[in-house]
Amino acid sequence: MIFSRRTGLTRTAGTLALGLLAALAANGSALAQSRTIKYIVPLAPGGPNDTVARLVAEQIGRDGGPTLVVENKPGAGTVIGTEFVARSAPDGNTILMAAGSFVVNPHLKKLNYDPMTSFEPVCYLAESPQMILVPASSPYKTLADFVAAAKAKPDELTIAANGPATTQHVQIEALKLATGAKLTFVPFPGDGPSLNAVVGEQVSAAALDYATAAGQIKAGKLRVIVVGTAARLDFLPDVQTFAEAGVKDTEWAGTFGIMAPAKTPKSEIDMLSGWVTKALKSPELREKFAALGIIPKGQCGAEYGAFVRKQSDTFARTIEAAHIKAD
């Protein structure tokens, strides 16, 4: 054995110490993998929120993290599933997929929870760019064309979206307020029916996310006239953003985040955010997101909480100005 004056350890003791650390790390990973966490999606299976939740859960499992079991609890515009998580034990074993409605519902409905106090922000996972699309046969090539027509023919042009009293509904009303366009909002019970309506030319346009409409866009059946991101999308380089179209301070995006019940210990929040951050850096997950037009974010903790609060304030102003009511 060789004694090191610098470390005070024999080479054999140092080797044993390294082995012990490796064993502890392996044991910690095994414990994480044996743990099961309920990941509540407050919407029906098959939509973008469900897809993002499952992709993230699968990646965390592949990375050696805990098992996230996705459970769909749809109903009442995401209220049922959201309230379920708010009432769950704050032990890190139940988390919520926070969709855009997370910050819309409080301004339209009486709830048994408060998004700002009933939850702990974990991470902002990703966003799905929202856009306005028209049928391929439509004469409107840009947002400016569409808005000009809506002003020239008040209330004749129709725009479909999931609604009423949804994120898309609020965004459409914000567009009307910003541009003075006289559009008629046509609500549908989900993105799928809205997509079918615009493809079938039953409406003048639709507000949809890229993941929902990608197939019809690629098939040449729909044309995108504006995207709701801060910068142009790499896969739609010729399509203007709202800012480029002259509509300032307007961004549309479907947001996907994770919330835990209030009073969940910081150690649990840190553990979850660590696994999420690792998953979002995975080339495999990023490739799957890219195929759906989904943009990874990765803001966690207080940074995500600040984003949610700002988003809530923005929606509140539009809801009040547009006099939006929940049916």
Could you tell me the CATH number of the domain that includes residue 68? 3.40.190.150
Count CB atoms within 10 A of the CB of residue 211. 20
The predicted model scores a pTM of 0.83
Same domain, 96 and 110: yes
pLDDT band at 1 (very low <50, low <70, confident <90, very high): very low
Residue 304 in this model has a pLDDT that exceeds 50: yes
Q: Is 241 part of a structural domain of the chain?
A: no
Residue 25 in this model has a pLDDT that exceeds 80: no
Q: Give the mean pLDDT of the chain.
A: 89
What is the arithmetic mean of pLDDT over 67-73? 97
Q: Are 195 and 224 in contact (CB under 8 A)?
A: no
Least confident of 108-112, 122-126, 132-136, 204-208: 108-112
**What is the domain-level CATH number for residue 178?**
3.40.190.10
Q: What is the pLDDT of residues 40-60, one digit of tens each?
A: 999 989 888 999 999 999 999
Q: Please state the domain count of the chain.
A: 2
Same domain, 147 and 203: yes
Same domain, 265 and 123: yes
Q: Which pair of tokens denotes residue 308? A: 């949610």
Residue 7 in this model has a pLDDT that exceeds 50: no
Q: Is 175 part of a structural domain of the chain?
A: yes
Same domain, 123 and 258: yes
Q: Is 234 part of a structural domain of the chain?
A: no
Q: Is 16 part of a structural domain of the chain?
A: no
What domain range is 278 assigned to?
28-128+254-322
Same domain, 281 and 222: no
Instruction: Report d(CA 220, CA 216) in Å as an integer.
Output: 6
Q: Is 13 part of a structural domain of the chain?
A: no
Same domain, 219 and 133: yes
Residue 9 in this model has a pLDDT that exceeds 60: no
Residue 207 in this model has a pLDDT that exceeds 70: yes
Q: Is 247 part of a structural domain of the chain?
A: no
What is the arithmetic mean of pLDDT over 23-36? 57
Same domain, 213 and 269: no
Residue 197 in this model has a pLDDT that exceeds 50: yes
Q: Is 153 part of a structural domain of the chain?
A: yes
Same domain, 205 and 278: no
Give the end-to-end CA distance of the chain in Å, rounded to a whole number.
79
Q: What is the pLDDT of residues 95-104, one digit of tens each?
A: 999 988 899 9
Same domain, 123 and 157: no
Between helices 48-62 and 266-280, what is the axis angle to 10°? 100
Same domain, 120 and 136: no
Residue 19 in this model has a pLDDT that exceeds 60: no
What is the arithmetic mean of pLDDT over 282-289? 96
Among 191, 212, 227, give the residue marking a domain's end: 227
Q: Is 249 part of a structural domain of the chain?
A: no
What is the arithmetic mean of pLDDT over 235-250? 90
Instruction: Report d(CA 191, CA 226) in Å as an integer.
Output: 18
What is the arithmetic mean of pLDDT over 272-295? 95
Same domain, 282 and 297: yes
Same domain, 198 and 167: yes
Residue 2 in this model has a pLDDT that exceeds 80: no
- pLDDT at position 161 is 94
